[in-house]
Chain A
Amino acid sequence: MPGPWVITAAGLISAAGDHPDALFSRLLEARSVATDSSDSVPFAAAPILGFDPSSYLRRKGVKHLSRTSQLACAAAGKLQDDLRDRNDTEVGVVLGTGWSSLDTIVRFEHEAHTVGPRFVDPSLFAETVANVPAGQMSIFFGWSAHNVTVAAGPTSGLEALLCAAEFLDEGRASLIVAGGGDELNFHMLRTLQADGLASRSAASLPLAPDSSGPIGGEGACLFALEAERSAASRGARVLGTLRGGTSRPVEAAGEPGVKQRADLIRRLLDDVGIGADEVGLLVLSANAERAGDLREAAVLVDVFGKAMPPALAPKAVLGETWGAAGSLAVAAALQSIQRRVVPPAPPPTAAGGRELGLNLPTEAQPLQVDCALILDGAGSSRFAAVVLTR
């Protein structure tokens, strides 16, 4: 992916707010957004309460979009406010999504039976198709260089950024809107909880010894990615620099899984010419799935040993946002780098992390080095990581 590529705008919709500042404020509070029950889902979850897409998207037809489409387009709208002097025909879109339109598939199939195949709403079918959320982004904002959807399960958010970097390298656009989004919905969460893949308690926290699984969340987070020269010519402010990344399926369990992931991190740092001692911040993907949390800690201990950088665990606040997780983690890292602050972790996460050899602060502390390693995919058989600097 030569580059480096710079991030010049960010747009996000999350349960902690719809702006990177709001997200970071919540991280500084180290307070989870999860609730044991809400109007949108009667289960423990971290939903975006009161999300009104029409307040972000002033066009007809918004209410017919799937929630994934709404989140992705709303985040795009937030980002678009920050884009200046760009030619929409030179802007591309790469969206990562883990689940995409699962809920709409369930709804369409059911409606095709209840009202009958001759009467079911045809526009609902379009929203069952996985690439439509990204397509809607282009339709709303006129971004026409290309439009790609990337499905890599929980690592879709980072995978999308890496794909965008390759496309920039190939000269496919002068600016790419890239990131990830996934919706939370009743059907999915109910099944994941039944299968023990999501926690039934809003108190389940990453790295805590009594964690009972990930808390289902949702969100969308997008970035404007471009070459330094392109940013300079637009007079755009650089929020951070994407130096490199990696994304692979890996062994889900055991020592081989730890070694694989550790090797991938070492190779990544080597590729971008950054030593382990030059990493100032780790952004964890630990999500309260105990085996995955333990493995992530073991991987980092393997790579950094005693020289463990401070770490941030965004899923302690946001829950598991799947395809949005990697991008939200990047957003958190960018804020941390800009403000030179490492937010604290909730006490159980900090204490649990310490037991495992990690370094999560219990109070906000200064960031010493402007370089972050962001991880994605804990608890799954996918691994992704990116390196960001100022």
Chain B
Amino acid sequence: MTSDEKLRREVTEIVAEIAEKSPDEVSADARLADLGIDSLDGLRIVAAVEQKYRIVIEEAEIAGIRTMQEIFGLVRKHSAEVE
């Protein structure tokens, strides 16, 4: 598994846990609203990935998060900075 696949799997698991679904139900193209994720869940997701990857996601970036791809993108972006 490439490191990117690993990242996507981990993030999917985090989102699935918060959405109270199984990871199989969370596709890589999913929209968060379709998964029943509200603003507080969104904050929990951001908090969880920040904690896991020791990154800080900015205020302005959070407002724009609507899809799984966007979350992957933010984690990739900030993890690269950390490295």
Chain A residues packing against B (C-beta within 8 Å): 60-61, 64, 115, 118-123, 126
The range of chain B's interface size is: 10 to 19
Q: Considering only CB atoms, which chain B residue lies closest to A63 in the complex?
A: B20
Q: Which of A61, A115, A118, A120 has the most CB of B within 10 A?
A: A61
The interface residues of chain B lying within 8 Å CB-to-CB of A126 are 40
Contact (Cβ within 8 A) A121 B44: yes
B interface SS class: helix
In the complex, per-residue mask of B37-78: 1 if CB is within 8 Å of any chain A CB, else 0: 000110110011011001010000000000000000000000
The interface residues of chain B lying within 8 Å CB-to-CB of A122 are 40, 43-44, 47
The 7 closest A-B pairs by CB, nearest first: A119-B51, A60-B20, A122-B43, A121-B47, A123-B44, A123-B40, A119-B50
Apart from A122-B43, A122-B44, what 14 extra A-B contacts exist at CB < 8 Å?
A: A60-B19, A60-B36, A61-B40, A61-B41, A118-B50, A119-B47, A119-B54, A121-B44, A121-B47, A122-B40, A122-B47, A123-B43, A123-B44, A126-B40
Q: List 7 A-B contacts (CB under 8 A).
A: A60-B36, A61-B20, A61-B40, A64-B44, A122-B43, A122-B47, A123-B47
> Whole-angstrom distance from the CB of B33 to the nearest CB of chain A?
13
| Cα separation A119 to B47 with both chains bound (whole Å) | 6
> Whole-angstrom distance from the CB of A95 to the nearest CB of chain B?
21
Chain B residues packing against A (C-beta within 8 Å): 19-20, 36, 40-41, 43-44, 47-48, 50-51, 54, 56
The interface residues of chain B lying within 8 Å CB-to-CB of A64 are 44
Q: Considering only CB atoms, which chain A residue lies closest to B52 in the complex?
A: A119
> Whole-angstrom distance from the CB of B79 to the nearest CB of chain A?
15
| Cα separation A60 to B43 with both chains bound (whole Å) | 15
| Cα separation A64 to B48 with both chains bound (whole Å) | 13
| Cα separation A119 to B55 with both chains bound (whole Å) | 9
Q: Considering only CB atoms, which chain A residue lies closest to B46 in the complex?
A: A122
Contact (Cβ within 8 A) A115 B44: no
> Whole-angstrom distance from the CB of A98 to the nearest CB of chain B?
27
The interface residues of chain A lying within 8 Å CB-to-CB of B19 are 60
Q: Which of B19, B47, B50 has the most CB of A within 10 A?
A: B47
Contact (Cβ within 8 A) A120 B47: yes
Q: Which of A60, A118, A121, A126 has the most CB of B within 10 A?
A: A60
| Cα separation A118 to B51 with both chains bound (whole Å) | 8
The interface residues of chain A lying within 8 Å CB-to-CB of B47 are 119-123
| Cα separation A120 to B51 with both chains bound (whole Å) | 8
The interface residues of chain A lying within 8 Å CB-to-CB of B50 are 118-119
> Whole-angstrom distance from the CB of B61 to the nearest CB of chain A?
15
Q: Considering only CB atoms, which chain A residue lies closest to B54 in the complex?
A: A119
> Whole-angstrom distance from the CB of A138 to the nearest CB of chain B?
15
The interface residues of chain A lying within 8 Å CB-to-CB of B43 are 122-123
> Whole-angstrom distance from the CB of B27 to the nearest CB of chain A?
18
> Whole-angstrom distance from the CB of A228 to the nearest CB of chain B?
40
| Cα separation A115 to B48 with both chains bound (whole Å) | 11
The interface residues of chain A lying within 8 Å CB-to-CB of B54 are 119
> Whole-angstrom distance from the CB of B24 to the nearest CB of chain A?
17
| Cα separation A49 to B41 with both chains bound (whole Å) | 28
Contact (Cβ within 8 A) A118 B36: no
Contact (Cβ within 8 A) B51 A115: yes
| Cα separation A126 to B54 with both chains bound (whole Å) | 23
> Whole-angstrom distance from the CB of B54 to the nearest CB of chain A?
8
Q: Considering only CB atoms, which chain B residue lies closest to A64 in the complex?
A: B44
